[in-house]
Amino acid sequence: MTERRIDEATVYSVPAHVLARRAADETVLLDVETEAYFTLDHVGTRVFDLVRVGSSFGDLIDTIETEYDVPRADLIRDVSSLLSAMCDRGLLVITGA
């Protein structure tokens, strides 16, 4: 995994070559350039939805924290890990910080 500096102002976006489809409580992402896919559970889907509307990392964490009973430190660690994995696979890009 690539080391990235993420702060509260970091903003992600979904590249044009990535398609997203919901199936029940999951989302399947497909990179049409590489034909690789990535599946998100319901929490990952919520994170992805917040990314798609342009939420900054800080706003994303604040929103998820109000919706799930998870310690903030754990949430920051887990969401950072998810977003980094998605960037590494070309499914997200950092567009602002």
| Residue ranges per structural domain of the chain | 12-96
pLDDT digits (tens, 9 = 90+) for 16-31: 999 999 988 899 999 9
| Cα(62)–Cα(66) distance, integer angstroms | 7
State the CB neighbour count (10 A cutoff) for residue 44: 20
What tokens appear for 32 in the block?
């049409």
Count Cβ atoms within 10 A of the Cβ of residue 67 and give its class: 0-12 exposed, 13-18 middle, 19 or more buried. exposed
C-alpha closest to that of 31 among 90, 80, 88 = 90
pLDDT digits (tens, 9 = 90+) for 34-82: 999 999 999 999 999 999 999 999 999 999 999 999 999 999 999 999 9
C-alpha closest to that of 37 among 75, 89, 81, 85 = 89
User: In this predicted model, which residue has the larger pLDDT, 52 or 96?
Assistant: 52
Q: What is the CATH number of domain 12-96?
A: 3.90.930.60
According to the model, what pLDDT value does residue 96 have? Answer: 80
According to the model, what pLDDT value does residue 25 have? Answer: 85
pTM of the predicted protein model: 0.90
